[in-house]
């Protein structure tokens, strides 16, 4: 029997390689799910970060003091948003441009509605089937009406 392959050795090799292939396939299919969940959580944290700045920062946001929204700040923000250079600068200010390992631009949409009026409509509209995160906050207009501030990132 020297130098001959035995049936048990061939069977054990087939079982070993089957287990290895199954494990690799299982891990690669789950990695897609984990990657999608990570992207969703990452976008939610970025949307929360942007909404936090808009609602709590009197210098860079919409508020004079929380929760009172400033109509002048919202009007100025809305006017400068549509220029392409200002939009890219806005993405940079909110840390939505990553340089490493390659340039990634996350897209942004900010909408402020209150008492039947759209005060801010800034950014792009997302494609239908794309992973995105939306954060909605509430503020108070000078007329004591409630406004919703919606931040969407994809």
Question: Strand locations in the chain, DSSP E?
Answer: 63-65, 68-69, 97-98, 104-105, 108-114, 117-123, 133-140, 146-153
CB atoms within 10 A of CB 43: 20
Mean pLDDT of 37-66: 93
- Could you say which DSSP state residue 54 is in? H
Does any domain span residue 111? yes
Does any domain span residue 2? no
Does any domain span residue 138? yes
**CA distances, 149 to each of 63, 95, 140 (Å):** 11, 19, 10
pLDDT for 3 equals: 56
Contact 123, 88 (CB under 8 A): no
CA–CA dist 128, 124 (Å, integer): 12
What angle, 0 to 180 degrees and rounded to 10, lies between the N-to-C axes of helices 84-93 and 71-81? 120
pLDDT for 114 equals: 94
Does any domain span residue 131? yes
Does any domain span residue 1? no
CA–CA dist 44, 120 (Å, integer): 21
Does any domain span residue 65? yes
pTM: 0.77
* Helix, strand or coil, per DSSP, at residue 119: strand
Does any domain span residue 149? yes
The total number of structural domains that make up the chain = 1
Tens of pLDDT along 111-144?
A: 999 989 999 999 888 888 899 999 999 999 999 9
**Residue 110 belongs to what domain range?**
7-153
Per-chain mean pLDDT for the chain: 89
Contact 139, 147 (CB under 8 A): yes
């Amino acid at each position: 029997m020297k130098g001959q392959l035995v049936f048990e050795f061939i069977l054990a090799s087939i079982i070993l390689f089957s287990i290895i292939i199954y494990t690799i396939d299982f891990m690669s299919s789950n990695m897609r799910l984990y990657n999608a969940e990570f992207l969703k959580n990452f976008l939610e944290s970025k949307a929360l970060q942007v909404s936090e700045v808009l609602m709590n920062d009197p210098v860079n946001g919409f508020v004079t003091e929380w929760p009172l929204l400033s109509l002048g700040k919202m009007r100025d923000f809305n006017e400068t948003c549509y220029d392409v250079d200002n939009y890219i600068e806005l993405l940079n200010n909110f840390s939505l441009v990553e340089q490493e390992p390659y340039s990634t631009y996350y897209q942004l949409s900010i909408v402020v509605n209150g008492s039947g009026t759209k005060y801010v409509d800034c950014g792009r509209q997302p494609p239908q089937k794309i992973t995105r995160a939306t954060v909605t906050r509430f503020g108070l207009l000078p007329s004591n009406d409630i406004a919703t501030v919606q931040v969407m990132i994809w």
